[in-house]
Amino acid sequence: MDLELIRNLVKGVEDKIIDYRRDFHAHPELSWKEERTSKVIESTLSGLGFENIRRGFDNTGTGVTADITGKANGPVIAIRADIDALPVDEAVDEPWRSSCEGVMHACGHDAHAAILLGVAHVLAKIKDNIPGTVRLIFQPGEESGIHSGAKQLVSEGVLDGVDAICGLHVWATLEAGKVGFRKGPIMASADIWEIEVKGKGGHGSRPHEAVDPSIAAATLISTAQTIVSREVDPREAVVLSVGTIDCGTAPNIIPEKARLSGNLRTTSPVIRDEIPDRLKRIGEGIGAAMRCDVKVDFIPVYPVTVNNGELVDLFVEVAGDLVGKDALEEMSIEMGSEDFSFYQQKIPGILFFLGMGDPTKGTDAQHHSPDFKVNEAVLADGAALLSGLALGFLKRK
């Protein structure tokens, strides 16, 4: 594998990558509505000679996959980029700012899509020297939670015949020029819990004739935290948060029902499986003690993102040669989540972070914020790293 060739090829398409990014940024589309984005990607891949091009998943016109093969019957690696935007009003004033009111690429998926198109240009130039097949996955719906794009694409067979998968995420809290990696769990799971507490409504002046669900709900909120503080090994990473509290309609009315919802995040698949029963036990116990009926629902959303060790070792070697060993930084676990984890449940995978934080450029604003801004200076490195990793895997396999 000629890494110097990869560097030169990426340098030759760097301006194209930036142009793609700006175009996607100016025309953001929400999850499962990425019609224009998908058409641009499909047209570009077709022009580059990619094969088996498919546009449209989950009975929509969104999402694109395509293959490029050098050596027939060789190994297959997939590279994934997510392409959806967020319901955010953009505060950054640039010529390519969002043209869609209330919709913005506030997480960097425009950069991911552009970087992967850059990879496509590189692979097209060296097709005859690819020791296998590279499948590009431009995934819709990463931000859609329960209706995960990755989960849907896996169910529709995008990993059929694929040996491994890789991807990246631009990262505002990591210094520009740094590349973050980690073996094993790197991002947390993200699940939703919902609790309904049913009592008996009444007048605020006669509480003894009612059964107050608000007291039971308040007790449940505080007691649920003991799951983390007293039932989980303190060396594990677990967050149990309350997001909504819906109870009552007037100050002098004891309500009939209280509803709570929240979020569970952990980096342990085992703990993730145990929490629902523990939360149900506490909820039903408090309900019984306080004469209320309690119903606990647990809604799985994203699994833990777990990087394959051998792929990480290969990535460190390739990245060290491409961007220098000093640029590599072993990450601590991020409690954010990624539906890339659904791919990793099926085949070995690696997700790494492309640092882009630079306060002098304003590219250190939080993801999902209206001030979020992509550092275009790092995009070429992203394309080189994905190209090098994919080719390195195929060559060794």
SS3 130: coil
Task: Please tell me which residue in 20, 42, 256, 302 is annotated as part of the active site.
Answer: 302
Domain with CATH 3.40.630.10 in the chain: 3-188+304-396
pLDDT confidence bin for 88, thresholds 50/70/90: very high
| Cross-strand bridge partners of residue 179 | 328, 354
Catalytic site includes residue 343: no
Report yes or no: 179 and 328 within 8 Å, Cβ to Cβ.
yes
Q: What is the mean pLDDT of residues 155-169?
A: 98
Query: What end-to-end distance do the CA atoms of the chain give, in Å?
Result: 13
DSSP letters spanning 234-268? TTS-EEEEEEEEEE-SSTTEE-SEEEEEEEEEES-
- The Cβ of residue 23 has, within 10 Å, a number of other Cβ atoms equal to 16
SS3 378: helix
User: What's residue 1's pLDDT?
Assistant: 59
Q: What is the mean pLDDT of residues 281-296?
A: 97
Instruction: For residues 132 and 394, give the distance between their C-alpha atoms in angstroms, rounded to a whole number.
Output: 6
Residue 253: closest CA among 207, 199, 198: 207
CATH topology classification for 3-188+304-396: Aminopeptidase (3.40.630)
Domain with CATH 3.30.70.360 in the chain: 190-302
* Helix/strand/coil percent split, the chain, to 5: 40, 25, 35
Residue 7: closest CA among 125, 168, 138: 125
User: What's residue 3's pLDDT?
Assistant: 86
Instruction: For residues 209 and 198, give the distance between their C-alpha atoms in angstroms, rounded to a whole number.
Output: 15
List pLDDT tens digits, range 239-270.
999 999 999 999 999 999 999 999 999 999 99
| Cross-strand bridge partners of residue 305 | 187
User: What's residue 397's pLDDT?
Assistant: 74
For the segment(s) 190-302, the CATH number from 3.30.70.360, 1.10.357.10, 3.30.420.40, 3.40.50.300 is: 3.30.70.360
Residues of the chain with pLDDT > 90, as a percent, come to 97
Catalytic site includes residue 376: yes
List pLDDT tens digits, range 175-227.
999 999 999 999 999 999 999 999 999 999 999 999 999 999 999 999 999 99
pTM of the model: 0.94
Distance, CA of 87 to chain centre = 16
Task: Please tell me which residue in 284, 310, 329, 376 is annotated as part of the active site.
Answer: 376
List pLDDT tens digits, range 19-48.
999 999 999 999 999 999 999 999 999 999
pLDDT confidence bin for 355, thresholds 50/70/90: very high
Instruction: For residues 323 and 249, give the distance between their C-alpha atoms in angstroms, rounded to a whole number.
Output: 59
